[in-house]
Amino acid sequence: MNSTRRCAAFAALILAFVALPSSAQSSAPVIYGLGSASTYTEGCYPPCLCPIWFGGTPTGTLRLQFTATDPAGFDHYVVQSVAWTMDTFGVTHVVTGTGQYKRGGQVVVQEQLTLDLSVDGAPTEHYDSGLVPPAATFPRIEIAISLNGMYCYDKVFSLDAAPIEAGVAYCFGDGSGTACPCANSGAPGNGCASSVNAAGANLIGTGSASLSADGVVLVSSGTPSAPAFFFQGTQRTNGGAGVVFGDGLLCAGGIATRLKLTQAVMGEARLPGPLDPPLSILGGIAAPGVYVYQCWYRESPPFCTPATYNLTNGYEITWTP
C-alpha cells in the first residue's frame, strides 16, 4: 500500500471514532523510577547557622495512581509503594512510605507532593512540597519535599522521577526524520508542533509489557484538551521515519487496530481508562510480538495544513509471554 492510500485508510479509521464517547484518565498505577539527579540533604537551612550538613542519593521506585479530577482543575493521584534506598556516610538506609500528588489548576498549573516516609522502619515523618509551579513537563516530576519548608534544621528530598517505560519511542517530528509538513518541527522526542503546543505532543508507555501481567499504560501529553484517538499497528511506517499526515507524521503502520477515542484533559490522555481491559486485550494481542502505537488528536482551527489534526511520536512495544 503506498503512502497516499495508507493515509486515506488511517483517516477513515480515525474519523469512524470521532463521535464516540470519551473516557477519563487511567486508574492503573504507573511505576516511577528516581533519576540520578535525586538527592537527600539534612542540615541547617537559613536563617539558622550550624555545622550539621550531610546528604545522600536516593534510588528506587514508587507507584503513582490517578484517582480523580476536582472542580478546581487539579488531577489527584495516590502515591503508593515508595521503595528507596540511600547511602549516608557509607551506611545504606531503606525508605518506605505513601502519599498524595496533585497537579493542575484552572488558571496557572501548579503541583504538590506530600509523602509520609519511614527510614529503616522508624516512625513516619510528613514531607510536603507545598503548592509550587512545576519544574518539569508531566509525566516527569521534579520537586523538593521537606519537613519544615527548608527552614532551619530540616530534611529534604529533591526528587527527579519519571515513569519506567514499557517500550521505545521513535518517529519524531523534531527534524531528525521525515520533515513535518510545514516545517513545524516539535521539541526533541515529540511529534510535530501544533496550534496549541510549539513543542508537539509526546507518547510514552509505562508498566509491564507481559501478556500474562499486562500493566502497560499509554500516556499522551502536550495535546489540546480535545478528542485523542489511540491506535495500534504492526510495523513502523516508512522504516520508522513516518509519512506526512495532517499537521504531523503517521508513524504506526501495517495492520491497524482501533483502540479507543479518549478525551485529553489538561493536555493529557491515557489508555487504558478506568473501566477498560488491559492494553493487550484492547489490541487483540494473543501472542508475544512487536507492536507500534500512536495517538492522533484534534486541533482546530487549521494551523499548518487544511487538516485539523496532528499526531504524537510513535511508540514500539515488544510484548512478552
**Which of 143, 120, 112 has its CA nearest to residue 35?**
143
pLDDT band at 4 (very low <50, low <70, confident <90, very high): low
CA distance 223 to 60: 30
Give Cα separations from 234 to 49, 93, 116, 253, 317 (angstroms): 62, 45, 44, 6, 10
How much is the pLDDT for 58?
A: 96
Helix spans in 192-238 (H): none
96 and 117 Cβ atoms separated by less than 8 Å: yes
CA distance 82 to 54: 22
Q: How far apart are CA 306 and CA 195, in angstroms?
A: 12
Q: Where are the domains of the chain?
A: 3-24+165-319, 35-163
Q: What's the CA gap between 306 and 296, in Å, rounded?
A: 16
* Each residue's pLDDT tens digit, 124-165: 999 999 999 999 988 899 999 999 999 999 999 999 999 888
Strand, coil or helix: 257: strand
φ, ψ (nearest 5 deg) of residue 108: -120, 135
Overall pTM surpassing 0.75 (yes/no): no
pLDDT-derived band at 25 (thresholds 50, 70, 90) equals: very low
Binning pLDDT at 50, 70 and 90, where does residue 20 land? Answer: very low
